[in-house]
Amino acid sequence: MTDSEETRSRIRIKVGDVEFEVEGKESMVKEFYEKFKKEDLDRLIKYSPTPEGTTSSTLEEESEENRLTIEQIESKILTLKLKDWVVNEPEWVLLYGYWINVGDKKQIFTRDDIKAKYEETERLNDSTKANLFNSIKSCVNDDYFDVKGKFKYCLTKKGKTEALAILNRTEPPPKKPTSRKKKEEEK
């Protein structure tokens, strides 16, 4: 087969909001694709915005053993509540973010979504409501949430990993000594 007789081919590549098409001789298209896959695909995936407004770097494919159904998530959260195995409010906010992201399948969630989970678990009170901003800020500072707009957040890979560790606790977390106990121990 001569160059002029070679079959024409076309490939369309879409990563998040970035989309392009290459058309030409089949050998040229295959060569382009192999080179692109080897040299540029990972970089494009890492920095490409997705339609939901997140970046691909904040998304991950979960292994089968880490996938939980919404019923399992709810059950584990309620068990943690009854056993009092969640250390502080930022941990609760992280769990609610995971519940919204994985259970409710929302990539981006709001402060009101988190507040709704507080209500659903009957944990919303004046104190948790007043400190909600600081608890969310703590999750952002720990790189568990990415900020996606005013009062809009996205769970990060690190946040998913930490939330799963909390959900899978098999014993109570160590209690931190109160400041009075610390002073007595220092004497």
Number of Cβ within 10 Å of residue 14's Cβ equals 10
pLDDT at 29: 80
End-to-end Cα separation, the chain, in angstroms: 91
Please state, in angstroms and rounded to a whole number, the distance separating the CA atoms of residues 65 and 18.
Answer: 32
Domains detected in the chain: 3-48 (no CATH), 64-167 (1.10.10)
Please state, in angstroms and rounded to a whole number, the distance separating the CA atoms of residues 61 and 57.
Answer: 11
pLDDT at 120: 92
In which residue ranges of the chain is pLDDT below 70?
1-5, 15-18, 42-67, 176-187
pLDDT at 186: 61
pLDDT at 58: 38
Number of Cβ within 10 Å of residue 64's Cβ equals 5
pLDDT at 182: 58
pLDDT at 32: 82
Helix H, strand E, coil C: the string for the chain is CCHHHCCEEEEEEEECCEEEEEEEEHHHHHHHHHHHHHHCHHHHHHHCECCCCCEHHHCCCCCHHHCCCHHHHHHHHHHHHHHCCCCCHHHHHHHHHHHHHHHCCCCEEEHHHHHHHHHHCCCCCHHHHHCHHHHHHHHHHCCCEEEEECCEEEECHHHHHHHHHHHCCCCCCCCCCCHHHHHHHHC
pLDDT at 63: 42
Please state, in angstroms and rounded to a whole number, the distance separating the CA atoms of residues 118 and 94.
Answer: 12
pLDDT at 3: 54
Angle at the Cα of 156 (from 149 to 60), degrees rounded to 5? 120
